[in-house]
């Protein structure tokens, strides 16, 4: 059975969405990053980058959420856009992987979690996050989904962070990007999405973001 190493953050949640949509049997294995479990030797053998999600598909290990989605979609022939849209599929997948994901993550960090304000970094990442959501919003202005007019794994890849746009940018995000809001609501109403979001509640994760958690999550602050 496929093993799915996860927590409740955006990137694992989009893989959970694919697994729930596909009906593939899987074992969910919680990795509590606030306890430093991502740095344990056994996990580092799966992902030397010490991040979730990871899957172990009967001995085939894949890490990085976007790589996992591509792997699963191609292996099982599920949620793939028509082959004539292959170039567009890869382009938008990389747009998520190199744009929406990392800029959203950094925008969240400098908005919510820095020990002291860093105005330049905050402005830089807010600007880039908003710019990327703006690109996607314009693209979705005349279509329900990102590639080929049908629901695909690329939509799942984008949904992971897009559903958090108000946390990334602020509550005004939904007014600024109404097409992204429609897209998020459409996917979020699916039964599989509801189950994917709720998966974390079936497992025990450290609730408080205390000094111990910060030492694991923000190790750069504690380097000599």
Predicted pLDDT at 223 = 65
Residues 191-220 have a mean pLDDT of 90
Count of domains observed in the chain:
2
Share of the chain above pLDDT 70, in %: 99
pLDDT bucket at 210, cuts 50 / 70 / 90: confident
Same domain, 115 and 148: yes
Tell me the longest C-alpha to C-alpha distance in the chain. Answer: 53
Same domain, 100 and 53: no
Cβ–Cβ < 8 Å for 142, 136: no
pLDDT exceeds 60 at position 132? yes
Same domain, 64 and 107: no
Same domain, 72 and 107: no
Q: Which two tokens stand for residue 4?
A: 């799915």
Q: What DSSP letter does each residue of 149-201 carry, written as one string? A: TS--HHHHHHHHHHTTHHHHH-TTHHHH-HHHHHHHHHHHTSHHHHHHHHGGG
Residues 58-78 have a mean pLDDT of 98
Same domain, 110 and 63: no
Q: What DSSP letter does each residue of 74-111 carry, written as one string? A: HHHT-SPPPGGGHHHHHHHHHHIIIIIHHHHHHHHIII
Per this entry, what is the length of the chain?
Answer: 224
- Residues 201/194/102/107 CA torsion (nearest 10 deg): -80
Same domain, 148 and 104: yes
pTM score: 0.96
pLDDT bucket at 108, cuts 50 / 70 / 90: very high
Q: Which two tokens stand for residue 212?
A: 């111990």
**CATH number where 212 lies:** 3.40.30.10
Residue with tokens 């025990």: 204
Which residues constitute the domain of residue 10?
Answer: 2-78+195-222
Same domain, 95 and 130: yes
Same domain, 48 and 101: no
Phi/psi of residue 122, each to 5°? -60, -50
Residues 119-145 have a mean pLDDT of 98
Distances (CA, A) of 84 to 22, 52, 81, 87, 96: 23, 32, 8, 8, 20
Same domain, 213 and 115: no
**CATH number where 90 lies:** 1.20.1050.10
d(CA 73, CA 109): 31
Same domain, 19 and 67: yes
Residues 3-23 have a mean pLDDT of 98
Cα-only R_g, the chain: 17
Same domain, 97 and 36: no
Give the strand order in the sheet containing 60-63. Answer: 26-30, 2-6, 54-57, 60-63
Same domain, 68 and 152: no
Predicted pLDDT at 224 = 56
Q: What is the mean pLDDT of the chain?
A: 96
């Amino acid at each position: 059975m496929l093993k799915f190493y996860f927590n409740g953050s955006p990137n694992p949640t989009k893989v959970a969405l694919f697994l729930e949509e596909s009906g593939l049997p899987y074992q969910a294995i919680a990795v509590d990053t606030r306890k430093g479990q991502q740095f344990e030797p056994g996990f580092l053998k799966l992902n030397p980058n010490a991040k979730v999600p990871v899957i172990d598909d009967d001995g085939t290990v894949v890490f990085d959420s976007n790589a996992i989605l591509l792997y699963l979609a191609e292996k099982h022939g599920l949620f793939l856009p028509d082959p004539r849209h292959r170039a567009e599929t890869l382009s938008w997948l990389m747009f998520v992987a190199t744009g929406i994901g990392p800029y959203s993550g950094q925008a969240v960090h400098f908005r919510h979690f820095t020990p002291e304000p860093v105005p330049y970094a905050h402005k830089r990442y807010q600007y880039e996050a908003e710019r990327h959501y703006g690109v996607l919003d314009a693209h979705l202005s005349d279509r329900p989904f990102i590639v080929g007019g049908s629901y695909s794994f690329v939509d799942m890849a984008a949904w992971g962070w897009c559903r958090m746009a108000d946390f990334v940018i602020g509550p005004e995000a939904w007014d600024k990007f109404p097409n992204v809001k429609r897209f998020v609501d459409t996917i979020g109403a699916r039964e599989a999405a509801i189950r994917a979001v709720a998966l974390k509640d079936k497992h025990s994760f450290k609730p408080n973001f205390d000094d111990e958690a910060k030492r694991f999550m923000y190790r750069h602050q504690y380097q000599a």
